Amino acid sequence: MSFFFIDLRPMNRSATHIVTEFVLLGFPGCSEIQIFLFSLFLVIYVLTLLGNGAIICAVRWDPRLHTPMYFLLGNFAFLEIWYVSSTVPNMLANILSRTKTISFSGCFLQFYFFFSLGTTECLFLAIMAYDRYLAICRPLHYPTVMTGNLCGMLVSLCWLIGFLGYPIPIFFISQLPFCGPNIIDHFLCDMDPLMALSCAPAPITEFIFYTQSSLVLFFTIMYILRSYTLLLRAVFRVPSAAGRKKAFSTCGSHLAVVSLFYGTVMVMYVSPTHGIPTLMQKILTLAYSTMTPLFNPLIYSLRNKDMKLALRSVLFRMRISQNS
């Protein structure tokens, strides 16, 4: 019984936290490799901001996109900007830094925002699947069910649940004794590297954290798969080929995003990572934390006729405003 009490009890920080900062090793290599990585990640970050920003502007300015599906897509693009910003700016600063340090509080703040935004993304993907299910399987009820008020409420719930789910477990992790060493072989503050640096084992805190993350992933992916199973059955019943093509176009974009995000996340946080090499863990984390936000605008715009027209309209407006 005493072990469980020690595991969950907040400890006195001054007595236990000898470590005041962590060293993020990032991606090792000579100066030429570091310059190449900095340039690559900077380009990815700028393109991600521009792509998702363009989607937000298109949804806001084009009346044709004032529908629940595009309202959710615009909010999803907004989320992606924050998600990629929780890791990449610090990673870029880390590449240029000689010490490669991050403060104790900065590390746990990044840890909190990274997981909260990731959870919010899972919930957003589930809501977008619900929207597509209603639009295709219940088209007559769709306008009365998926109202602006419901969309706003669902979006608010995604943000609230995402950000209220992790403060307590991350607080307990931050209260663990970190006596040294303080080197994290990663480009961000993640669960496994931090737990490896703790001086005292905390199996209950670790179990609660991974159970919570696994449940979010499991329930959202199961709901998405169920929605798309019903949706595909409905699509195959559509009599016209044009109707089927349009339905596949919208759903295919969403499924591509879901596959890219969930495929890499589940390898990292559901399956055991002890046997995965450190470099591969970094690559997998990069895939869902930076590549997914980068590819989302491309996937949604290239496969969606309305979005392509709206983006052209946004670019046309920008050219007119520059010339005037």
Indicate if the pLDDT at residue 303 is higher than 90. no
**Preceding omega of 143 cis (within 30 degrees of 0):** no
Q: Are 293 and 41 in contact (CB under 8 A)?
A: no
Burial class (CB in 10 A: 0-12, 13-18, 19+), 229: exposed
**Separation CA 62–CA 311 (nearest Å):** 9
Q: Are 132 and 251 in contact (CB under 8 A)?
A: yes
Mean pLDDT for the stretch of residues 261-275: 72
The CA distances from residue 60 to 102, 281, 312, in Å, are 37, 37, 14
Question: Whole-number mean pLDDT of the chain?
Answer: 84
Indicate if the pLDDT at residue 314 is higher than 90. no
pLDDT tens readout for residues 13-58 = 444 447 889 999 998 888 899 999 999 999 999 999 999 998 998 8
pLDDT tens readout for residues 75-92 = 999 999 999 999 999 999
- Kindly calculate the radius of gyration of the chain based on its CA atoms and give it in whole angstroms: 22
Domains and CATH numbers, the chain: 21-322 (1.20.1070.10)
**Separation CA 121–CA 129 (nearest Å):** 12
pLDDT tens readout for residues 130-159 = 998 898 888 888 999 999 899 999 999 999
pLDDT at 287: 87
What would the 3-class secondary structure string for the chain be?
CHHHHHHHCCCCHHHHCCCCEEEECCCCCCHHHHHHHHHHHHHHHHHHHHHHHHHHHHHHHCHHHCCHHHHHHHHHHHHHHHHHHCCHHHHHHHHHCCCCEEEHHHHHHHHHHHHHHHHHHHHHHHHHHHHHHHHHHCCCCHHHHCCHHHHHHHHHHHHHHHHHCCHHHHHHHHCCCCCCCCEECCCCCCHHHHHHHCCCCCHHHHHHHHHHHHHHHHHHHHHHHHHHHHHHHHHHCCCCHHHHHHHHHHHHHHHHHHHHHHHHHHHHHCCCCCCCCHHHHHHHHHHHHHHHHHHHHHHHHHCCHHHHHHHHHHHHHHHHHHHC
With a pLDDT cut of 90, the percent of the chain lying above it is 40
pTM of the model: 0.86
pLDDT at 317: 72
pLDDT tens readout for residues 116-128 = 999 999 999 999 9
Residue 311: pLDDT band (50, 70, 90) is confident
Q: Which amino acid is at 75?
A: N
pLDDT tens readout for residues 200-239 = 888 888 888 888 888 999 999 999 989 888 888 877 777 7
pLDDT at 28: 83
